Structures are given as C-alpha cells and as structure tokens.
C-alpha cells in the first residue's frame, strides 16, 4: 500500500473544505491557534511512518487525552472502574449535563467530559503525584519524553470551565466524585492541555492498533482484551453525538479533541493522527474527518 501517495492525494482532495468550520473558542487560548494548519501522520504496525504537512507541530490534544486516562485507570482498577462509569454511547454533546442528572451521576462513558472527570478522580485516588504520574504514562506510550502540559491553555480553560464545574458538582452530589471538586477539575483540565504532534499521537495510538504486542508503559499494563475493549469504546463513543457518523464515514475506532486533532486505529494495520483546528458543530475537526473518510475509502481498509 502506497500510504504516502494516498496521503498526498487526500490532502489535495480535501482543499475545498479548508475554510469550513471554526476553531474552538470557548477555551480562550485555543481560539488563538492558526486555523489553517493541517498535519497527518500514519504509522503501520510493521514500522512504516508516513507524514505530511504540520505533522510534527504540537497542538492541544484536549479530549484525545481521555483515551490515555481511560487506559491508565483501567490498568489500575480493572473491571471495578465500570461501577462508576458506563460504556454506552451518549448521543449527546461532550459537555452535556442532561443524562448525568437523569442517570444519578453515573456518566454514560469515559469519553464524555463527565466520564473523564470521574476517571480523573479515580486516577487521583491511586497516584501520589497525579500530574507527574499521568505525564509519565503519556510520555512512555508516545515514546517522547519531552511531551508536556500547556499550563497557559489549562488556566485559560479553568477560568471559563462553567459547564465542567457544574458536571463535577453534580457528580459530587451523587457521590461519584470522591476527591476535592477543585482539585479533580484542575487535574482533568490539565490532562486536556497536553500538547502532542500528529506523529506523537500516531505513535501513542500504535499500541491500540497492535493489541497482540504487550501493552506495558510506565506503571500501566493492559491485557490484549482490555486494549481491544478500549477500541470498542472509541468506536461507539469517541465522537460524542457524531460517533455514528464517524463510524459510517470512516469506520475506525478513534477519538477527537476540540484542539482539532483526531487519532484513530485500523486494528493490526496502522494508527493515524490528523490535525486541523476548524471544527464542525459537534466539536470534531472538519478536515480531519474528511481526511480519514478518504483514507479508509482509498485504502479499502476499515474495521468493517
Ligand atoms: N477540555 C475540553 C473540555 O473539557 C475538552 C473537550 C473536547 O475536546 N471535546 O471541554
């Protein structure tokens, strides 16, 4: 498969969509990012790497972090994690409060904000120094020890995190947030502020594409079955109320973030990460979705 040529063709084909959508502006620091950046990186499980555009430029991974936090929490808690968070698609926006109230503080899944805030609480109950421990895991899985948080992005998000604060309060009310609300919220927001490039992300997702290799990074280890199940949750819940559409158009387990990144895996074939900051109304990258749709169409490789 000539992935490099396919990526170049895709880049040309998506140009008509280059002005569609707009970057997230509810996090002030994200609104300042150049909206016209585009990068993509694909790693095959046999060691090939193909990239294009701004693939080595770091950006705010935002909700893509939820895949790493789920992996870390599953490694620590195992099946017990599912008593605090579900694994059903929500069909609602990532920051919605509606189901959380009706369902008595048990978030639908770990990839909506409510679920990821519970996961942050779980991690804090295990880690002594959670900021460092989480970063150690992300650095280990991406093989890049220079990855870090962007504390400016985090504090800009924290200053306007009215919805996430409401979610955390509702969780606390229902007894599903054990730590201090303020500390858990800060840790969740810090996790979202991690900056990585498409190449870092593609590399970090490779273990999810290759469930046959042992998953052991830092202090986190997962069984092959746990890795496959994280993929299942990415497939059904990775794009909030657009998970069905992503499944229909792209056909890969993946996860998006409001920084404009999307990371996805084609099991036993490749991992891929794409970045373009302009988002559609559901908070997913317009060009990113388009590029992955064309990738699985051109390669005729998806999970279906
Ligand atoms: N930090 C963002 C938030 O909590 C992440 C949202 C996202 O990427 N979908 O709102």
Indicate which CATH number applies to the domain containing 151. Answer: 3.40.710.10
What would the mean pLDDT of 184-193 be, rounded to a whole number?
98
Establish if 233 belongs to a structural domain.
Answer: yes
pLDDT for the residue numbered 164: 97
What would the mean pLDDT of 31-52 be, rounded to a whole number?
96
Residue 16 and residue 287 in contact, taking contact as beta carbons nearer than 8 Å:
no
Tell me how far the alpha carbon of residue 248 lies from the centroid of ligand 1, in angstroms: 23
Tell me how far the alpha carbon of residue 3 lies from the centroid of ligand 1, in angstroms: 31
Rounded percentage of the chain residues whose pLDDT exceeds 70: 100
Q: Do residues 72 and 153 both lie within one domain?
A: yes
In short, whether 207's Cβ falls inside 6 Å of ligand 1 is no
Closest CA to 108 of 121, 125, 120, 95: 95
For a mutational test of ligand 1's pocket, the pick from 24, 25, 28, 95, i.e. the residue with the most ligand atoms closer than 8 A to its C-beta, is: 95
- Looking from the CA of residue 283, the nearest atom of ligand 1 is 9
Q: Do residues 34 and 129 both lie within one domain?
A: no
Establish if 259 belongs to a structural domain.
Answer: yes
Q: Do residues 132 and 243 both lie within one domain?
A: no
pLDDT-based confidence at residue 178 (cuts at 50, 70, 90): very high
Cα separation, 295 vs 1, whole angstroms: 12
Residue 55 and residue 201 in contact, taking contact as beta carbons nearer than 8 Å:
no
Residue 53 and residue 11 in contact, taking contact as beta carbons nearer than 8 Å:
yes
Q: Do residues 22 and 50 both lie within one domain?
A: yes
Q: Do residues 100 and 16 both lie within one domain?
A: no
In short, whether 242's Cβ falls inside 6 Å of ligand 1 is no
Q: Do residues 169 and 284 both lie within one domain?
A: no
Average pLDDT, the chain: 96
Q: Which residues contact 37 (CB under 8 A, 6 or more apart)?
A: 53, 54, 57, 59, 260, 275, 276, 277
Establish if 230 belongs to a structural domain.
Answer: yes
Cα separation, 225 vs 229, whole angstroms: 6
Residue 45 and residue 269 in contact, taking contact as beta carbons nearer than 8 Å:
yes
The protein residue with its alpha carbon nearest to ligand 1, atom 4, reads 113
pLDDT for the residue numbered 18: 96
Tell me how far the alpha carbon of residue 279 lies from the centroid of ligand 1, in angstroms: 13
Q: Do residues 75 and 34 both lie within one domain?
A: no
pLDDT for the residue numbered 246: 97
Cα separation, 136 vs 6, whole angstroms: 34
Predicted structure pTM score: 0.97
Establish if 13 belongs to a structural domain.
Answer: yes
Q: Do residues 17 and 36 both lie within one domain?
A: yes
What would the mean pLDDT of 54-61 be, rounded to a whole number?
98
Buried b or exposed e, range 14-43, using 16+ CB within 10 angstroms: beeeeeebebbeebebbeebeeebbbbbbb
Establish if 304 belongs to a structural domain.
Answer: no
Tell me how far the alpha carbon of residue 161 lies from the centroid of ligand 1, in angstroms: 10
pLDDT for the residue numbered 44: 98
Buried b or exposed e, range 237-247, using 16+ CB within 10 angstroms: bbbbbbbeebb
- Looking from the CA of residue 116, the nearest atom of ligand 1 is 4
**Is the model more confident about 230 or about 30?**
230
Q: Do residues 118 and 89 both lie within one domain?
A: yes
pLDDT tens for each residue of 208-237: 999 999 999 988 999 999 999 999 999 999
Q: Do residues 79 and 136 both lie within one domain?
A: yes
In short, whether 118's Cβ falls inside 6 Å of ligand 1 is no
Establish if 238 belongs to a structural domain.
Answer: yes
Rounded percentage of the chain residues whose pLDDT exceeds 90: 94
pLDDT for the residue numbered 215: 96
- What are the residue numbers of the active site? 63, 66, 188, 240, 258
pLDDT-based confidence at residue 238 (cuts at 50, 70, 90): very high
Domain count, the chain: 2
In short, whether 69's Cβ falls inside 6 Å of ligand 1 is no
Establish if 146 belongs to a structural domain.
Answer: yes
Tell me how far the alpha carbon of residue 122 lies from the centroid of ligand 1, in angstroms: 19
pLDDT tens for each residue of 277-297: 999 999 999 999 999 999 999
Q: Do residues 181 and 229 both lie within one domain?
A: no
pLDDT-based confidence at residue 111 (cuts at 50, 70, 90): very high
Cα separation, 17 vs 9, whole angstroms: 14
Question: Which range of residues forms the domain containing residue 141?
Answer: 63-194
pLDDT-based confidence at residue 169 (cuts at 50, 70, 90): very high
pLDDT for the residue numbered 298: 97
pLDDT for the residue numbered 221: 96
pLDDT-based confidence at residue 144 (cuts at 50, 70, 90): very high
Q: Do residues 189 and 96 both lie within one domain?
A: yes
């Amino acid at each position: 498969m000539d992935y490099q040529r396919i990526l170049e063709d895709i880049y040309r084909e998506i140009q008509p969509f280059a002005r569609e959508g707009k970057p997230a502006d509810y996090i002030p620091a994200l609104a300042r990012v150049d909206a016209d950046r585009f990068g993509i990186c694909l790693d095959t499980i046999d060691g090939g790497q193909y990239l294009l555009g701004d693939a080595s430029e770091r950006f705010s991974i935002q909700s893509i972090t939820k895949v790493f936090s789920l992996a870390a929490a599953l490694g620590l808690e195992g099946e017990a994690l599912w008593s605090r968070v579900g694994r059903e698609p929500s069909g609602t926006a990532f920051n919605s409060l509606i189901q959380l109230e009706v369902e008595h503080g048990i978030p639908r899944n770990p990839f909506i904000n409510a679920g990821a805030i519970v996961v942050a609480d779980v991690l804090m109950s295990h880690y002594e120094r959670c900021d460092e421990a989480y970063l150690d895991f992300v650095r280990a899985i991406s093989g890049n020890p220079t990855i870090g948080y962007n504390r400016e992005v985090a504090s800009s998000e924290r200053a306007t995190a009215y919805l996430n604060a409401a979610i955390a309060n509702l969780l606390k009310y229902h007894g599903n947030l054990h730590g201090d609300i303020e500390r858990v919220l800060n840790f969740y927001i810090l996790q979202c502020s991690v900056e990585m490039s498409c190449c870092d992300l593609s590399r970090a997702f490779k273990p999810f594409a290759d469930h046959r290799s042992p998953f052991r990074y830092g202090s986190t280890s997962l069984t092959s079955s746990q890795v496959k199940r994280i993929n299942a949750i990415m497939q059904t819940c990775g794009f909030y109320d657009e998970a069905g559409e992503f499944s229909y158009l792209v056909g890969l387990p993946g996860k998006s973030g409001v920084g404009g990144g999307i990371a996805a895996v084609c099991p036993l074939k490749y991992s891929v990460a794409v970045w373009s900051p302009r988002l559609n109304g559901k908070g997913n990258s317009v060009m990113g979705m388009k590029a992955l749709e064309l990738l699985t169409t051109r390669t005729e490789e998806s999970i279906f």
